[in-house]
Structure 1
Amino acid sequence: MGSNMKGMDTDEARNTANQMGEHAGMVGGVCQKLLARVQATSWVGADKDKIADDIGNSFIPNANAACREIETQAGYLIAKADEQDAASA
């Protein structure tokens, strides 16, 4: 191992992972509010229907998939911090 090699700061890794999870949750909430706002407008017509459909059937599912991936990566980061702590014990 080279002299420039450093180990993981496991507390910082867990903190980062927790923030990742919190931010992913916020994105999901914002997406639902966006859809509700579009659906609640008094605007009517094909354009509104298309936008609401795109948000509900494309944008939100894609955003939710991205949020799940962020949460997966956060879990991976916590697992690596746990491994680092176990190896350092």
Structure 2
Amino acid sequence: MSTSMQGMDTEYARSVGQNMGEHAGQVAGVVSSISAMIQGLNWQGSDRRAFENDWTGSFAPSATACSESLGDQGRVLCVHADRQDEVSR
């Protein structure tokens, strides 16, 4: 007889999902904090404009989207754990 688990360890899955959400919030906080620091940077000229354009036009939106996706996936994992519990009753 096999002792391996089939299905999902729902308690652990919820813990992972919640952890994903917490880390997503941390990523969003870092992006916001760095954006504020960049705004306060004493730097003039075309290099600054190019850097800010890269930051605001590409990197920050991509990092924010990744943060949102990480949070979404954490919530999805929790939903799967709930569903697994429902069918296991």
Deviation at 1:7, TM superposition (A): 2.5
Q: Which runs of 4+ in 1 moved over 3 A?
A: 2-5
Structure 2: tracts of 5 or more residues without a match: none
Preserved contact between residue 14 and residue 77 of structure 1 (Cα < 8 Å): yes
State the identity as a percent: 40
State how many pairs are aligned.
Answer: 88
- In 1, the alpha carbon distance for the partners of 2:31 and 2:55 equals 8
The amino acid of 2:73's aligned partner reads: Q
Name the counterpart of 2:54: 54
CA RMSD in angstroms, aligned pairs only: 1.6
- In 2, the alpha carbon distance for the partners of 1:7 and 1:80 equals 11
Name the counterpart of 1:10: 10
- TM-score normalised by L of structure 1: 0.87
Structure 1: tracts of 5 or more residues without a match: none
Name the counterpart of 1:73: 73
Name the counterpart of 2:41: 41
